[in-house]
Amino acid sequence: MPQLNSVYRHREFQDLLTLSGYERAGGWNGLKATLEMSPDDALYAFHRSGLRGRGGAGFPMGRKASFLPKDSGRPTYVVCNADESEPGTFKDREILDNNPFQLVEGVAIASYGVGCERAYIYVRGEYGHQWDVLLRAIAECRATGRLGPDAFGPGAPFDITLYRGAGAYICGEETALLESLEGKRGQPRLKPPYPAVAGLYDCPTLINNVETLAALPPIMHRGADWYAALGPEKSPGTKIFSVSGHVLKPGNYEIVMGETTLRDLIFDLAGGLRDGREFKACWPGGSSVPVLTAEHLDTPLDYESLAGAGSFLGSGGCIVMDDSGCIVRASWRLAHFYRHESCGKCTPCREGTGWLEKILGRMVHGEGRLEDLAMLESLFGRISGRTLCALADGAVAPVQSALELFRDDFERVIEQGGSPVPEPMGVINA
């Protein structure tokens, strides 16, 4: 069950919060190797590595970078998505907290490939400490010339601007993020055009997640072939899973894709469950993915296998619930989240997430009727696939799958007149 700290270099080396410490740990070798190539060769290396986007959708990073037109006559931008707000996901936070220079180096590598002279890192507003760490890292890079007029060589400038959100999950959606970065309300745009063609200020823009970009330095240092050979062909590399909920050792675990199962992740790495409790369910890729049951525990952790099991790898935020929890109450809590975070632009999402919360809420509070189950089912198709962005699909997926896999529980909650508050797990210092 190989763990490999390729992005989480701070778990292998000390003192990565200073530039000199990062350099001692081999920092900047990836950018150095990249600058010796032509930008096209760098893009080709991204592509050959097989690295896929770690923010949720899993789109191949190199392919996305190759979509940016080279002849637009306008500046090109790289934007790093550090909005991390998907429930159950806290992997980017650990990078920002402990290994900020690896992200800076990754952003620089991607920027060299697509010809960007100014990149942006958009940090969620709540990440105050992480913001301060990044501010210090950027200041140190500027002071030492790692960023600035000659960053990529004499007369080849590159710099990074930090931008801070102010509390809105939807600003993690790439086009909403761009709107927010442009000083507007953070509401998604109609696609196409995709950001690769018309992104920030209508210019070609590459948007990637923190973990995606922080994966680049080791890839460019050790070689795309090294990375591509880790794990399955279509899902190569390492992936960080955040494990939370009813496990004894919640935390982040960076594993080689495909070589660890969901069971290994939950029961071995994350310490398993309390004595006397049984596994009930987990949302393996953040809260926007279909829920899985004990039957799926032997699924290997990679994009294809998790999709084959009926869910998604998503952001890698694995939320675990034991049999003290109630699937109806959990679904209701998630429905509340999506209702609260819907930006309100599309009617099916704005109204639909409200109805999901309301119907599940009355079940939880003992006012549900069996007809409500049919009503829920009829709602799903009227929300999914009919909206501007994927928030609405993410609201439906956990609820629809819960109803399919745990219908008996929904019926029982309705018949018994509600769902009792589960006994909280309490603080365990494992």
Ligand X SMILES: Cc1cc2nc3c(=O)[nH]c(=O)nc-3n(C[C@H](O)[C@H](O)[C@H](O)COP(=O)(O)O)c2cc1C
**Residue 360, interface with another protein (CB under 8 A)?**
no
For another protein, the binding residues in 307-326 under the rule CB under 8 A are 317, 319, 321, 325
Q: How big is the site for another protein, counted in residues (CB under 8 A)?
A: 66
**Residue 126, interface with another protein (CB under 8 A)?**
yes
Residue whose Cβ sits closest to ligand SF4: 349
Tokens describing residue 220: 């460019």
Q: Which does 54 bind (CB under 5 to 8 A by kind): ligand X, ligand SF4, another protein, none?
A: ligand X
For residue 307, CA distances in Å to 85, 177, 312, 321 come to 22, 27, 5, 20
Going by C-beta distance under 8 Å and a sequence separation of 6 or more, which residues neighbour residue 293?
A: 280, 281, 405, 406
**Region of 26-34, 37-45, 78-86, 344-352 interacting with ligand SF4 (CB under 6 A):** 344-352
**Residue 412, interface with another protein (CB under 8 A)?**
no
Interface residue with ligand SF4, options 110, 349, 399, 403 (CB under 6 A): 349
Residue whose tokens read 């969901």 = 262
**Residue 68, interface with ligand SF4 (CB under 6 A)?**
no
**Residue 344, interface with ligand SF4 (CB under 6 A)?**
yes
Tokens describing residue 312: 């998604």
Q: How big is the site for ligand X, counted in residues (CB under 6 A)?
A: 23
Q: Write each residue from 76 to 105 as x if it is in contact with another protein (CB under 8 A), else as -, in one continuous string.
A: --------xxxxxxx-xx------------
Q: Which does 55 bind (CB under 5 to 8 A by kind): another protein, ligand X, ligand SF4, none?
A: ligand X
Going by C-beta distance under 8 Å and a sequence separation of 6 or more, which residues neighbour residue 98?
A: 8, 10, 16, 17
Let me know: does 152 contact 35? Beta carbons within 8 Å: yes
Beta bridge partners of 160: 119
Alpha carbon 143 to chain centroid distance? 31
**b/e map of 94-127 (b: 16 or more CB within 10 Å)?**
bbbbbbbbbbbbbbbbbbbbbebeebbbbbbebb
**Residue 56, interface with ligand X (CB under 6 A)?**
yes
- CB closer to another protein, 25 vs 104: 104
**Residue 419, interface with ligand SF4 (CB under 6 A)?**
no
Q: Which does 208 bind (CB under 5 to 8 A by kind): ligand SF4, ligand X, another protein, none?
A: ligand X
Q: Give me the least distance between CB of 385 and ligand SF4, in Å please.
A: 10
**Region of 147-155, 247-255, 340-348, 354-362 interacting with ligand SF4 (CB under 6 A):** 340-348
Closest CA to 301 of 242, 222, 362: 242
Length of the chain (residues): 430
Q: Are β-strands 279-283 and 317-322 bridged in parallel, bridged antiparallel, or unpaired?
A: antiparallel
Radius of gyration over every alpha carbon of the chain, rounded to an integer in angstroms: 22
DSSP secondary structure, 93-146, as one string: HHHHHH-HHHHHHHHHHHHHHHT-SEEEEEE-TT-HHHHHHHHHHHHHHHHTTS
Let me know: does 390 contact 382? Beta carbons within 8 Å: no
**Residue 208, interface with ligand X (CB under 6 A)?**
yes
**Region of 20-28, 236-244, 358-366, 407-415 interacting with another protein (CB under 8 A):** 236-244
- CB closer to another protein, 165 vs 300: 165
Determine what percent of the chain falls in helix, strand and coil, rounding each to the nearest 5. 45, 15, 40
Interface residue with another protein, options 24, 32, 70, 185 (CB under 8 A): 185
Cα separation, 9 vs 218, whole angstroms? 10
- CB closer to ligand SF4, 213 vs 389: 389
37 three-class SS = coil
- CB closer to ligand X, 9 vs 189: 189
For ligand X, the binding residues in 147-176 under the rule CB under 6 A are 170, 172-174
Going by C-beta distance under 8 Å and a sequence separation of 6 or more, which residues neighbour residue 52?
A: 58, 59, 60, 61, 212, 235, 237, 303
For ligand X, the binding residues in 84-103 under the rule CB under 6 A are 84-86
For another protein, the binding residues in 5-64 under the rule CB under 8 A are none
Residues that bind ligand X (CB under 6 A): 53-57, 59, 81, 83-86, 170, 172-174, 207-209, 212, 389-391, 394
Which residues sit at the interface with another protein, rule CB under 8 A?
A: 75, 84-90, 92-93, 118, 124-129, 131, 159, 161, 163-169, 180-187, 201, 203, 242-246, 250-252, 283, 287, 317, 319, 321, 325, 329-330, 333-334, 337, 340-341, 421-422, 424-429
Query: Which residues bind to ligand SF4, rule: CB under 6 A?
Result: 170, 188, 342-346, 349-350, 387-389, 391-392
